[in-house]
Amino acid sequence: MASTFSNQAYEFFKLKGILYQTSHVGTPQQNVVVEREHDHLIKATKALIFQSHLPLKYLGECLLTSTHLINKFLSSLCIVLHRLSTSFWTPSSYKHLKPFANLCYVSTKKKR
């Protein structure tokens, strides 16, 4: 029965133009992007909890907050896509954000 479902799913993907690929078990080389994003999320969470001097029982809330902030702020890819087609993109609102007792420094260095 599992092979029938797999064949049906594969045919559905093919019909819809979806490229179906699987990854090999135990090959972290295929997960570089995911690992990089996970590392970024963990570092942002640690920074929030460290700078706010909150107890570790609030680690979950810090993780949710850092996830929300990372998803909310524009990435360089979003900026490029915005420049390509402005009709499909609307700027995000940041009015709902409140201070999280996080120390912040502004960098004046320009990228080379």
Q: What is the mean pLDDT of residues 68-96?
A: 65
Q: Which residues contact 57 (CB under 8 A, 6 or more apart)?
A: none
Kindly report the backbone phi and psi dihedral angles of residue 108, in degrees, each rounded to the nearest multiple of 5, phi listed first: -105, 0
Identify the pLDDT of residue 18. Answer: 84
Torsion of CA 83, 33, 108, 101, to 10 degrees: 110
pLDDT tens by residue, 30-54 = 677 778 888 989 998 998 888 888 8
| Domain layout of the chain by residue ranges | 34-78
